[in-house]
Structure 1
Amino acid sequence: MSEALVATQAPEASASGASGARRFWRRLRTQRAATVAAGIVALLVLVALAAPLLTTLEGQDPTTYHPSLIDSARGGVPTGSLGGISGRHWLGVEPQTGRDLFARLVYGARVSLGVAFSATVLQVVIGLVVGVAAALGGGWIDQVLSRITDIFVALPLMIMSLALLAIVPQSFPRPVLVTLVIGLISWGNIAKIVRAQTLTLKGLDYVAAARLSGWGAWRIARRELLPGLAAPVITYASILIPVNISVEAALSFLGIGVKPPTPSWGQMLTAADVWYQAAPQYLLLPAGALFVTVLALTVLGDGVRTALDPRAASRLGVGTGRTRAAVTTSTATSTATSTSTATATAAAKEESE
């Protein structure tokens, strides 16, 4: 009987998942700020992926020095107006080295976004495995995994990253190392979220039916639990990405993250801190790119959270006036309906009397 119940629920769950995805996209599209943020994020990802093509169109690369474009008499300030902006150097050149700023900025997007997205994927995978294993294992397995998770939650990310990055040989690829350090240290919170949600899902009827039918723990987790975990995991992952971008930038700014000549927005900020008066664009370009990226990802993450759980109010107010008007109209309609019902009831009572 339980097998029949599970068999009949499988297509229904698939249809429900499809309709749930459509509802999610519909709710997300009604939020104008989140839609704009998604467009900005998509553009940034496209720029990062197309960095070789864009620099080829410009005719430059991120590592070539141009000493002829530097005024050595003024301490290495770029010659020309606005930091050396020209038809050959669209955003000017780097002080003291003459490397093309546009090329370094778009290649820096590859490093910063790549590290952030890769570290987020690593955090989600570890958090899912640990959280589901703790909830399904129960007993001493849950106790051990929960205590390990508590330890990693309590670890200070920046201090641990500073210690680990300082002792690893310089020959190890720094973007990969930064990704591993962030991903392997900061998975504790998502593991706690997954464990709590899995414990809630375990008590539902369809999971109990799957267990009674003889399904193993892995099959139950894959077929029944993971679809229910999608919403909280996606929401938290969308919040983690801007956090990881900021962490990578901070580590590179402190000089222990991505090393030259590999471009990174944080590493560019490190080199620009002494040039903000002589060549302000050298500081403003990577700082502006970081600001726009983190802001867009934060707004998009909040929009995703609101679309997945419409009962939760947006922290950033990324809803639209149309959405608020719909809520107001719905409230007014409900109020009018209640009033008319009460009036009709009172009239009927008077007539009967």
Structure 2
Amino acid sequence: MSEALVAPQAPEASASGASGARQFWRRLRTQRAATVAAGVVALLVLVALAAPLLTALEGQDPFTYHPALIDSARGGVPVGSLGGVSADHWLGVEPQTGRDLFARLVYGARVSLGVAFAATVIQVLLGLVVGVAAALGGGWIDQVLSRITDIIVALPLMIMSLALLAIVPQSFPRPVLVTLVIGLIAWGSMAKIVRAQTLTLKGLDYVAAARLSGWGAWRIARRELLPGLAAPVITYASILVPVNISTEAALSFLGVGVKPPTPSWGQMLTAADVWYQAAPQYLLLPAGALFVTVLALTVLGDGVRTALDPRAASRLGVGTGRRRAALAAGKAKATAGATAKEGSA
């Protein structure tokens, strides 16, 4: 009976999945802002992965001090114009230490992006497991998991992160610790979304047919529920990544995140707060990198949401595009009115 129910559906499901993927990419490509944002994100990831190669081309590294390149008489301000920019130091050097800014910026991208993406993966996995288990388990299982999720959601992320990061020994790798803290504290919202969507999918005919066929809960979740959960999970994950980047930067800025000499954009901002007048580029470079990264990920996330659900209008779809659409609609109405008048005349 099981084979009779599901075997004929397999090719259709596969074809539907392939067609859905093609439609998704087609819709995403039609959104110019999302396409540009995807290119910016891809470039940032490429820079982070190629950090050793880029610094080797420059001939520098993020840890070596260059005391000859700072003016100790002025309190450690870099020697030269634009913060010590030269052929050997493409973006200048760090005040007081003389470490190369370009090297620290690209290696900082590795830490900031790595922490954000890894924490998002943890949040998605925990949210999927808890949400699906709660919806499929029902009864006391749903009650227990739902109450645990409510507690996790109610926890203040920054305060809990500050407390946990402050009590862990300094010998523990800070990027790994920040990743675990963010991932293990902030998965509650993902679990709630997954549980609600799973409860909706449970009532559909194809899930009921799989259940009547004798499939176990794990097989139903893997074969029937996970494809239906892909759209909301991907959409929310694309929102979590910029949030996690900002959280890592905030924790490092507060002094409990990534510690020197390991470079991260938040840690660079922490050290730059006393140099913004004497060496403004030391503040502007990591702040600009954070701004561009968060903006690109936010725009890309909005584009992914719209491509997965074309009925939902983009939150960023304002300005020229809407004005053109409104203008076109106005012209069409005017033309129709003129035609009607001519016909009546």
TM-score (norm 2): 0.93
Instruction: Give, in angstroms, the shift of residue 175 of structure 1.
Output: 0.2
> Would the aligned equivalents of 1:6 and 1:206 in 2 still touch at CA under 8 Å?
no
Instruction: Give, in angstroms, the shift of residue 340 of structure 1.
Output: 15
Instruction: Give, in angstroms, the shift of residue 313 of structure 1.
Output: 1.2
Q: How does 1:138-149 map to 2 (within 5 A)?
A: 138-149=138-149
> In the aligned structure 1, how far is the partner of 2:318 from the partner of 2:333?
36
Instruction: Give, in angstroms, the shift of residue 192 of structure 1.
Output: 0.4
> Would the aligned equivalents of 1:32 and 1:319 in 2 still touch at CA under 8 Å?
no
Instruction: Give, in angstroms, the shift of residue 247 of structure 1.
Output: 0.1
Q: How does 1:181-330 map to 2 (within 5 A)?
A: 181-317=181-317, 321=321
Instruction: Give, in angstroms, the shift of residue 9 of structure 1.
Output: 1.4
Instruction: Give, in angstroms, the shift of residue 81 of structure 1.
Output: 0.5
> In the aligned structure 1, how far is the partner of 2:333 from the partner of 2:84?
74
Describe the SS at the equivalent of 2:98: coil
> In the aligned structure 1, how far is the partner of 2:107 from the partner of 2:178?
17
Instruction: Give, in angstroms, the shift of residue 213 of structure 1.
Output: 0.7
Give 5+ residue unaligned stretches, structure 2.
none
Which shows bigger deviation, 311-320 or 51-60? Answer: 311-320
Moved over 2 A (4+): 318-327, 336-353
Deviations 1:269-307 (A, max 9, x none): 000000000000000000000000000000000000000
After superposition, the CA RMSD in angstroms is 4.0
Instruction: Give, in angstroms, the shift of residue 316 of structure 1.
Output: 1.4
Instruction: Give, in angstroms, the shift of residue 325 of structure 1.
Output: 5.4
> In the aligned structure 1, how far is the partner of 2:291 from the partner of 2:7?
50
> Would the aligned equivalents of 1:302 and 1:314 in 2 still touch at CA under 8 Å?
yes
Paired residue for 1:132?
132
TM-score (norm 1): 0.91
Classify 1:47/1:339 alpha carbon distance in 2 versus 1 (closer, same or farther; 3 Å).
closer
> In the aligned structure 2, how far is the partner of 1:67 from the partner of 1:342?
72
Classify 1:2/1:279 alpha carbon distance in 2 versus 1 (closer, same or farther; 3 Å).
same
Give 5+ residue unaligned stretches, structure 1.
328-335
> In the aligned structure 2, how far is the partner of 1:304 from the partner of 1:220?
26
Instruction: Give, in angstroms, the shift of residue 352 of structure 1.
Output: 21
> Would the aligned equivalents of 2:5 and 2:213 in 1 still touch at CA under 8 Å?
no
Deviations 1:91-134 (A, max 9, x none): 00000000000000000000000000000000000000000000
Instruction: Give, in angstroms, the shift of residue 5 of structure 1.
Output: 2.6
> Would the aligned equivalents of 1:174 and 1:258 in 2 still touch at CA under 8 Å?
yes
Classify 1:322/1:12 alpha carbon distance in 2 versus 1 (closer, same or farther; 3 Å).
farther
Classify 1:13/1:322 alpha carbon distance in 2 versus 1 (closer, same or farther; 3 Å).
farther
Query: What's the % identity of the aligned pairs?
Result: 91
Classify 1:318/1:7 alpha carbon distance in 2 versus 1 (closer, same or farther; 3 Å).
farther
Deviations 1:246-273 (A, max 9, x none): 0000000000000000000000000000
Classify 1:244/1:352 alpha carbon distance in 2 versus 1 (closer, same or farther; 3 Å).
closer
> In the aligned structure 1, how far is the partner of 2:59 from the partner of 2:40?
25
> Would the aligned equivalents of 1:33 and 1:319 in 2 still touch at CA under 8 Å?
no
Deviations 1:213-263 (A, max 9, x none): 111000000000000000000000000000000000000000000000000
Classify 1:39/1:347 alpha carbon distance in 2 versus 1 (closer, same or farther; 3 Å).
closer
> In the aligned structure 2, how far is the partner of 1:116 from the partner of 1:344?
53
> Would the aligned equivalents of 1:65 and 1:97 in 2 still touch at CA under 8 Å?
yes
Return the match for 2:342 from 347, 350, 353: 350
Classify 1:339/1:313 alpha carbon distance in 2 versus 1 (closer, same or farther; 3 Å).
closer
Deviations 1:293-350 (A, max 9, x none): 00000000000000000111111117984997599xxxxxxxx999999999999999
Which shows bigger deviation, 243-252 or 8-17? Answer: 8-17
Classify 1:4/1:294 alpha carbon distance in 2 versus 1 (closer, same or farther; 3 Å).
same
